[in-house]
Structure 1
Amino acid sequence: MLHLGTGLSIMISKRNPSLIATFALLSSGYVLSSYKEVKSVVLHTLNRARFSVAVDSFLKTGQVPSLREGNLQEDIFSFPWLKDRPVVLGSRFKDAFQDPCAYLSIEPLFEKERYVVTYNPSKGKVYALLKDQAKSDDILKAAFHAHVLLHFIQSANNSRSSSWKEQEHDHSKLMPTTANLEARIAESCKTVSSAYGLFKSKVAEQGWRMSDSLLNPGRARLVFPGLLPG
């Protein structure tokens, strides 16, 4: 592909076109060839984007995409300043909860876990808070649980609206009531309890490698109920 670009540039230069037109044409060709080259690379690791693709496919079909399928479905042009992430992993308490009562109402559901997952309607995001004792697999499970909860909230909202495209780009419109939110969190706990082991098995079967470091969790940790360090 690069040799083709070089040959094209030589051919264009002989025709003596304007500098701006030549630069624009060659830049476009370079970006396109670079994009094709990146998309052709098959990576075995699950970063945030590929992890999201894998969980979404698993929840909808019961299967995890192959290495090639997962890489092809990854959105390469997901710039942080253009795309707001709907899942925050390793968040601070004050970001995840509007008030302490919201935490106390769901805390019993995560008594045996080393993390807590919730949804903040005012920010339109799912938050996974990690407890101080959380290890690598706890972080991966928290990320999986966060995507499960997001899936439940989106599915419930989708049943009330015909505009799926609007939901996909504006998570602030996902506004479940407090009672409904607690019910969905409880439902997500049951699903994760039965499905997380199967998800890991499917991931391994397809040749994927999971690592909590690739998910870039925040450093905040719950050291005891209701408080975070710093």
Structure 2
Amino acid sequence: MAGDSTMHLATERYGSWESWQYMEKAGSVQRKQNDEKKRAWSFIDAFTSVFLPQGYPESVSEDYLSYQLWDTVQAFASSITGTLATQATLRGVGVGNKEATIAGATITWILRDGTGMLGRILFAWKKGTKLDCDAKKWRLFADVLNDIAIFMEIVAPAFPACFTLIVCTAGIFKSLVGVAGGATRAALTVHQARRDNMADVSAKDGSQETLVNLAGLLISLLIIPLVADNIILTFVLYFFFTGLHLFSNYQAVCSVVMETLNQARLSILTYHYLKEGSILTPVEANQREPVLPSFRRRLEIQLGTKLGNLVSSLSDFEKALQDNGKKYIIGVDKIKGRVLVCLSSGAGAPDELQAGFHAYVLLFFLELQASGPGPYKAAIQRCRDVADSAATNDQHWRLVTETHRLVDVAFPHFQTALQKAGWCTDHTLLDFDEWRVDWAEGNLQKKAL
């Protein structure tokens, strides 16, 4: 009968979890769950609802789950080693020793906390601006330093004469860990939050860490009676869980795929572009990004430097502005091994990106990399010819001029290819210093007349 017919009205879904259809039948609206999405509410659903951000997985970056899994493992290992360190520290300040005084233990604890506070302030002052730009490196640095601090606290009771000095030094290290770890965690949260849901991602990360620490405490209740008077077992457990901690941290930072450009990723992209004529995807470039310190000596790049570092005479200034017309000026300090970039006060993110690209193009030729086929073979060869003979100041400025011409042609294509490959070009993490320069080319032209 006609009155028994149904009509589809709407479909709604709750992320990727549920899908429902609204049907009209006999004048009423009925709601029916789609069969392909139909499932019973389970413990796993409840667990993910409590510990994962709302809208997961669409509301976070694709690398979220792999990073959080490794981060969970490292947090558990760190919780165990932290318990071993706490036990050793308490034994060192006199817990269980009838000859120890409360005043002595309190003074040691105050000195430990006080030196840590000073270290936290100084580290934030000296390195605070670097933490955003190299979040993965500093994240790994923080965890390595944390393991060193824990080791110092474990061995401190064996050196009673230097106990206070050792625990204060460990306190300084842990304060650096707090600054670097907290700041880089915030930077990674910004990367992972894809729906302006930083607070939710951060809160759920805190819930995950709390759960892991609770599990670590429960395991520690079983471990502590075993290691209380067994220093060998203490060190065996420390080295085992420290190895697990470092391996998990390395895997965690390597699993992160960031789409914003820092100096390391821009250098990888620029060198590959000049050699191969193509742009690496964020996944490919992040896999090549170093997260461990490099001991290979290479020329330094200073972005946003003072004008006085770049030019020392009117002749240098005129050469820096020759064939420029950009919102930055660039040069080479071969004596100190630096590529220097001065930025105009009117420069925006595209200008910063172009300046960084130009700096690595210049570095590419100063280090005499193999040019490969590339899309700009003639221009690259001209730059290489100049770079091969760049021994004097004038030759360095000739190389700068040649790279200006190459960048004028190559950068628009490079920028477009970045956007197509999925890179974020609206803002950069290139660690520009705050110096800005306004230059007046008209005055130089008047002087020449």
How is 1:22-171 mapped onto 2 (pairs within 5 angstroms)? 22-78=237-293, 86-110=300-324, 112-155=325-368
Shift of 1:86: 1.6
1:126 to 1:4, Cα distance in 2 relative to 1, 3 A: closer
CA contact (8 A) 1:46 1:211 kept: no
Aligned partners of 1:50 and 1:70 also within 8 Å: yes
Query: If the length of structure 1 is used for normalisation, what is the TM-score?
Result: 0.77
SS of alignment partner, residue 76 of structure 1: coil
SS in structure 2 of the partner of residue 128 of structure 1: strand
Contact kept? 1:86, 1:125, Cα under 8 Å = yes
Q: RMSD of the TM alignment (CA)?
A: 3.3
C-alpha distance after superposition, 1:80-124 (max 9, x if no partner): x998872111110122234443222232222x1111011111221
Distance 1:188 1:35, change over 3 A: same
User: Which SS does the other structure have where 1:195 is aligned?
Assistant: helix
Counterpart-to-counterpart distance in 2, 1:38 and 1:215: 19
* C-alpha distance in structure 1 between counterparts of 2:273 and 2:250, whole Å: 27
For structure 1, list consecutive stretches of 5 or more residues without a partner in the other structure.
158-173
Q: Deviations over 1:47-87 (max 9, x none)?
A: 222122111111111111112111111112349x9988721
- Report the counterpart of residue 199 of structure 1 in structure 2: 414
- Which secondary structure state, in structure 2, belongs to the residue aligned with residue 122 of structure 1? coil
Q: Which runs of 5+ in 2 are unaligned?
A: 1-69, 81-218, 371-388, 442-449
- Higher RCO (C-alpha 8 Å, min separation 6): 1
CA distance in 1 between partners of 2:235 and 2:314 (Å)? 59
Shift of 1:134: 1.8
TM-score normalized by the length of structure 2:
0.41
Match in the other structure for 1:216: 431
Q: Distance in 2 between matches of 1:28 and 1:129?
A: 44
Structure 1 residues 222, 61: closer, same or farther in 2, change over 3 A? same
- Once residues 347 and 401 of structure 2 are traced to their aligned partners in structure 1, the CA distance between those partners, rounded to angstroms, is 21
Alignment check: 8 A CA contact 2:74 2:248 kept? no
> Aligned to 1:176, which of 388, 391, 403?
391
Give CA deviations for 1:144-172 in whole Å, capped at 9, x if unaligned: 11111111111179xxxxxxxxxxxxxxx
Dislocated runs of 4+, deviation >4 Å: 1-7, 13-17, 81-85
Output the amino acid matched with 2:360.
Answer: H
CA separation of 1:26 and 1:188: change in aligned 2, threshold 3 A: same
Give the conservation status (yes or no) of the 8 Å contact 1:97–1:120: no
Aligned partners of 1:4 and 1:121: how far apart in 2?
43
Residues 1-47 of structure 1: CA deviation (Å, up to 9, x unaligned): 5559969x87xx68975212321221121111111122112222222
In structure 2, what residue type is equivalent to 1:218?
D
Between the two proteins, the alignment pairs up a number of residues equal to: 207
